[in-house]
Structure 1
Amino acid sequence: MGILDIRDLSISYDGKSVLSEFDLSVSKGEKILIKGRSGIGKSTIFRLIMGFGIQASGEILLAGIPIDADNIWDVRKKVAYVSQDTDITEGKVSELIDEVLSFKANRLNISKENVEAIMSDLSLSHRILNKEYTRLSGGEKQRIALVLALLSGKDVFLLDEVTAELDVTLKQKVVSMFFDNPQWTVLSISHDREWEEKATNIIDLSGKVN
């Protein structure tokens, strides 16, 4: 049993099966790339893990405990999810960061220097802190969403096309940030070759369709 287990998962859209009897066991510290054509259910798997949506059949377990409506908030406290939809919130960037830092679990663990280091690694200047999130470019939104995930103090990450709008240098930086940390468990959905080059396990969903 892994830190995350998906058992016999089948997904249907409008009565049409797009994913059938999918199984996956993820060990702590594993770095997994999930790939496959558009519409095959990649993003839906992440949303199901986070409790967004309804699975047609199957079971998802976190640390051996089945995920359900009663414990989904506990799951969200342990798993960081960065969606490919970057229009996730509004307000000044500094306010979004302050909100994450205000969480009880983070108060003693994250310093101003930690924030500055993460932003620097993602080529974000301090000027962006005073900008409205909704007015950022797509690439800036992706990087701010990653900053928020990294500041959350979690060690399981679901990353959905988080480098799609970044240049090659930034893609490589982001992949290294997540895949080079042996303590983090990372599942990434991406078409970027940088993820494939460093993944310890590549799951191609193309063969999981009826």
Structure 2
Amino acid sequence: MEIIRMEDVSVSVNDGLRDKLIFSGLDLSVSKGEKILIKGRSGIGKTTVFRLILGFTRPSSGRIYFQGKPADSELFWDIRKRATHISQDSDIGEGPVMALFEEVFSYSANHGKFDHDTLDMLLTEFSLKREVLNKKFENLSGGEKQRISIIISLMTKKDIFLLDEITSDLDAALKTKVVDYFMANSEWTVLAISHDPEWEREGVRIIDFENIVSNEDSVNKVN
């Protein structure tokens, strides 16, 4: 079942002087349970695809559909209820890690989803000791921050994952472990942006972003 479709989507930004094209001509179809790796040089606009899916960026032209319906403000809100975006920026908060969990799961959308047994299982799965919960998030290593962000997202029990360079600070063994975990669930729809070869495997559809869009060198540093 197709859940996301983009048809001839273009995105431009205004730098105060003129509109600059990020990319144009994007056609993308995503089916439920599909695993997709989006590749391409930094700054070409890959992260903008995730922002389009979540409704934080609107296309300059073209159409976006969710489960066959044209996406509007109300539908984008429904998408955000089902999708979780893990950014390459892993600085998601400050203070004790456990307090960060408590804050996230105090939100009405996450009410009742926190489970200590699930937390313990995921800490073990991603090679973190429970003592990490007492540390200040800002003092963790980049790899620890990435794994905590992953665990929080998994515990929100959503089924669409938009993963932006989430394994960049992990060693090879942990990269493989994280990828294995996301690939194992056939019900999850996973779109990953990554330069890590661990994502390139059987069962993953690889999209070379440079081959499916047109863009301008003048905006190569826009994400």
Q: Map 1:131-146 onto structure 2 (within 5 A).
A: 131-146=135-150
Q: Is the 8 A contact 2:105 2:113 kept in 1?
A: no
Residue 114 (structure 1) aligned to one of 111, 118, 121: 118
- 1:52 aligns with 56
- Counterpart code for 1:119: L
- 1:9 aligns with 9
Deviation at 1:199, TM superposition (A): 4.7
- 2:166 aligns with 162
- 2:157 aligns with 153
3-state SS of the aligned residue for 2:119? helix
Q: Map Cα deviations across residues 39-69 of structure 1 (whole Å, 9 max, x no partner).
A: 1110011112122233222222222233333
- 2:190 aligns with 186
Q: Distance in 1 between matches of 2:139 and 2:150?
A: 17
Q: 1:66 to 1:141 in 2, by over 3 A?
A: farther
Q: Map 1:78-97 onto structure 2 (within 5 A).
A: 78-97=82-101
Moved over 4 A (4+): 102-110
Residue 77 (structure 1) aligned to one of 81, 96, 103: 81
- 2:220 aligns with none
Q: Extract unaligned runs of 5+ from structure 1.
A: none
- Counterpart code for 2:214: V
Deviation at 1:6, TM superposition (A): 1.4
Q: Which of 101-110 and 142-151 deviates more?
A: 101-110
Q: Distance in 1 between matches of 2:57 and 2:91?
A: 19
Q: 1:91 to 1:76 in 2, by over 3 A?
A: farther
Q: Which of 74-83 and 53-62 deviates more?
A: 53-62
- 1:125 aligns with 129
Q: Which of 17-26 and 148-157 deviates more?
A: 17-26
- Counterpart code for 1:200: V
- 1:67 aligns with 71
Q: Aligned-residue CA RMSD in angstroms?
A: 2.0
Q: Distance in 2 between matches of 1:76 and 1:92?
A: 27
Number of equivalences:
210
TM-score, normalised on structure 2? 0.86
- Counterpart code for 2:144: E
- Counterpart code for 1:11: V
